[in-house]
Amino acid sequence: MPTDATLHSAQSPTTLPPSPFPTDDPILSQIGNTPMLPYPGVADGRLLCKMESENPTRSMKDRIAMGILSEALADGAYDTVVEASSGNTAGAVALVANRLGASCILTCPEGTSPDKIGYMKAFGAEVHTCPDVDSDHPDHYRAVAERLAEEHDAFLVNQYYNQSNPGVHYRWTGREIWAQAGAEMTHLVSAMGTGGLLSGSARRVKEAAEAAGRNVTVVGVDAEHSNISTAFRGDEPVPYNTRVEGLGKGGELPTMWFDYIDEMRDVSDEQAFEQARAAAQEHGMPIGPSAGAALSVGLEISAAHPDARVVTIICDGGEQYFDTLF
């Protein structure tokens, strides 16, 4: 079992691999290199939290925005970026575009949290709110983003289909996780939305574990009424319905690399919200509800396997969810 000194050493920024997207920008250089902390509710450091909530916009989406945009804008082919997002990706894209000197256009559905729209506008993005219609409707926010990208000859981030989404986490997040906890990690747990975070990180961790003659079990977390898990298991789809922002999808996406995921677990909306509240109120750790869903699964695994060392990715902070959490 790791000692406090071992955990401190594993969390030291000097031990982490360098970012694959180096920058001299004082803001963008704060992306990544996030700490891994023992969860206060579990003794002996058996449940570790990769605190992606420590990124500048409080979300792991800063990583994909940094990775995708720094490469897309490098040759000067684009001066405008467009993305469709009702969640954390929008704020992350707005921040990175701001620092890289590109104009940013974002589309989101009506009803998107004012706090999240605030992130978009704070960094100077042009925001288009769209009717909450079916995905095949021409006014759906993703369809509007595609039209705007074409009209402005802009780069479309397209996080739901862009293989650079999991690719960034393979090159970056997964390497950090292995450097911080690989010596004793037995499980890696994360919520799934686009699936890029867990897919890319899992591939890197699986490769490193195999090279070390070990195995790490990767567990994806889906919403109870969602179809990532049904697609993973080959089951019939269910009506998609969840109140947890950023958790689950109506079906499988190209950014979900199921080959590197061993198991899927479903979490109810209430379980996700209750765990997020408990993390804040009992342990001083404000997290979002999708991170709450992942944490609840991490706690289940820790309780069932006393010798396990579980890493749970805390994908975002709770600041943008206070109106729904409390």
Residues 228 and 77: their CA atoms lie apart, in Å, by: 35
**What tens digit of pLDDT does each residue of 142-164 get?**
999 999 999 999 999 999 999 99
pLDDT at 320: 85
Mean pLDDT, residues 286-302: 97
| Token couple for 153 | 């000859």
- In the chain, the domains with their CATH numbers are 4-56+166-325 (3.40.50.1100), 61-156 (3.40.50.1100)
pLDDT at 7: 40
Give the contacts of 85 (CB within 8 A, at least 6 positions apart). 93, 106, 107, 108, 159
pLDDT at 324: 84
pLDDT at 224 over 70: yes
Higher pLDDT, 259 or 87: 259
pLDDT at 115: 82
Of the pLDDT bands very low, low, confident and very high (cuts 50, 70, 90), residue 5 is very low
Least confident of 119-123, 204-208, 292-296: 119-123
- Amino acid identity of residue 200, one-letter, is G
Rounded to 5°, angle at Cα 305 from 303 and 309: 95
pLDDT at 9: 36
SS (H, E, C) the chain: CCCHHHHHHHHCHHHCCCCCCCCCCCCHHHCCCCCEEECCCCHHHCEEEEEHHHCCCCECHHHHHHHHHHHHCCCCCCCEEEEECCCHHHHHHHHHHHHHCCEEEEEEECCCCHHHHHHHHHCCCEEEEECCCCCCCCCCHHHHHHHHHHHCCCEECCCCCCCHHHHHHHHCHHHHHHHHHCCCCCEEEEECCCCHHHHHHHHHHHHHHHHCCCCCEEEEEEECCCCHHHHHHCCCCCCCCCCCCCCCCCCCCCCCCHHHCCEEEEECHHHHHHHHHHHHHHHCCCECHHHHHHHHHHHHHHHHCCCCCEEEEECEECHHHHHHHC
Of the pLDDT bands very low, low, confident and very high (cuts 50, 70, 90), residue 111 is confident
Single out the residue of 93, 94, 89, 81 nearest to residue 112, CA to CA.
89
pLDDT at 216: 98
Of the pLDDT bands very low, low, confident and very high (cuts 50, 70, 90), residue 15 is confident
pLDDT at 3: 41
Q: How many CA atoms lie within 13 A of 96 on its CB side?
A: 33
pLDDT at 255: 98
Q: Taking all residues of the chain, what is their mean pLDDT, rounded to a whole number?
A: 93
Sheet-wide strand order for 126-130: 126-130, 103-109, 80-84, 155-156
Mean pLDDT, residues 236-258: 94
**What tens digit of pLDDT does each residue of 276-291 get?**
999 999 999 999 999 9
pLDDT at 13 over 80: no
Of the pLDDT bands very low, low, confident and very high (cuts 50, 70, 90), residue 326 is confident
Mean pLDDT, residues 250-259: 96
Of the pLDDT bands very low, low, confident and very high (cuts 50, 70, 90), residue 223 is very high
Mean pLDDT, residues 248-257: 95
| Token couple for 42 | 């579990």
pLDDT at 165: 98
pLDDT at 10: 41
Residue pair 110/136 in contact (Cβ under 8 Å)? The answer is no
- Cβ neighbours, 10 Å, residue 75: 7
pLDDT at 4: 39
| Token couple for 164 | 């650079």
- Cβ neighbours, 10 Å, residue 22: 9
Higher pLDDT, 135 or 285: 285
pLDDT at 81 over 50: yes
pLDDT at 41 over 90: no
Least confident of 7-16, 95-104, 158-167: 7-16
pLDDT at 325: 87
Mean pLDDT, residues 243-270: 96
